[in-house]
């Protein structure tokens, strides 16, 4: 579980971006290697964290 960097509370990681290709992060020059970031929300202070799952990071290596 992610902890909020601002207040230390546990964040809700059950969020994702919607809207298609604009939300993809690609390595420059390698169009086949892309990340689909997720989002976590802190319901205590409103902080939003954008992150990538570990298994998705492995795909970039």
> Which positions lie near Zn ion, rule CB under 5 A?
4, 6-7, 9, 42, 44-45, 47
> What's the rounded Cα separation, in Å, for the pair 36 and 24?
5
Nearest to Zn ion of 45, 60 (CB atom): 45
Sheet holding 38-41, edge to edge: 12-16, 38-41, 48-51
Nearest to Zn ion of 47, 56 (CB atom): 47
Closest separation in Å from C-beta 49 to Zn ion: 9
Residue 20: how many other CB atoms lie within 10 Å: 7
Closest separation in Å from C-beta 6 to Zn ion: 5
């Amino acid at each position: 579980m992610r902890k909020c960097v601002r207040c230390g509370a546990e964040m809700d990681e059950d969020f994702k971006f919607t809207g298609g290709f604009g939300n993809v992060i690609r390595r420059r020059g390698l169009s086949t290697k892309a990340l689909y970031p997720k989002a976590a929300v802190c319901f205590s202070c409103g902080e939003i964290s954008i992150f990538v799952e570990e298994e998705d990071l492995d795909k970039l290596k």
